[in-house]
Amino acid sequence: MNSTSKHILSCISNEFHPISLEEMEKIRLMNRIDIKYTTNLSVLLRFIELLKGIYFVQEVEGNRVSEYDTIYLDTEDLRMYMDHQNGRRIREKIRMRHYIDNDLTFLEIKNKDNHGKTHKKRVSISSIGDYLNENASRFLTDVGHYSPKNLFPRVETRFSRMTMVNREQTERLTIDTDLHFMNVNSGKEFDLEDIAIIELKQDSQAFSEARRILHELHVRPVSISKYCLGTILTTPNVKHNRFKSKLIQINKLTNYKYEYSL
């Protein structure tokens, strides 16, 4: 991974007031909607600069930029990926995520309903590959739509994340950089070090200062998940025509040459 961008974000994050993980977990967003954006690191730095004084940065174990390791599960025929590719509104995503800073690992199920709202449930597991133990299998059976025996590790993603919350506590922002993807079966890898994925999780009834700023910076929403992106970039010949315009946008961003100073 590119340690330079993590260092830059770590330095910038020190200019914000912190919020603890415990405080962050008390924030409940009713009628939550999620919106994703992609941009280059130059615009990202301008965006973060404009958030000063109105957002807090989450701090975990003394770190304000945290490391995540995630393995996505799917069926042998990539049913969950194909639901995205085919534009199915009601869909599911299953992953094992290791939160490296506090050494916690969860098996997580995210369901999107036909109104575009996301619902997430999770259960603790001992390690990132431990999805077939009795407790995890029961969780998959009770909460998910797929039998554990039909699920296999497909794509691994690693990235750095900065998490923010506004003063009114009506929205959370996650900013992911240093994205690394690996196809678990083939070992094929792909790095996206020059872009950031911003995800805005907000109460649908609340005004969003971050959304306004992104609009002024000409950063437009883009609907693509890290799982789908990782699948496309590490799986030759996988069907991806629904995502072609988004890949063109990302390609333009990765060719962008940015400068920074500390």
Percent of the chain at pLDDT > 90 equals 67
Query: Reduced to 3 states, what is the DSSP secondary structure of residue 251?
Result: helix
What pLDDT, on a 0 to 100 scale, did the predictor assign at position 120? 87
> What mean pLDDT comes out for the span 236-262?
72
pTM of the model: 0.89
Counting beta carbons within 10 angstroms of the beta carbon of residue 45, is it exposed (0 to 12), middle (13 to 18) or buried (19 or more)? buried
Q: Which stretches within 116-176 are classed as H helix?
A: 134-143
Q: Are 57 and 173 in contact (CB under 8 A)?
A: no
What pLDDT, on a 0 to 100 scale, did the predictor assign at position 3? 59
> What mean pLDDT comes out for the span 4-15?
85
What pLDDT, on a 0 to 100 scale, did the predictor assign at position 203? 73
In 3D space, the residue among 151, 251, 159 whose CA is nearest the CA of residue 197 turns out to be: 159
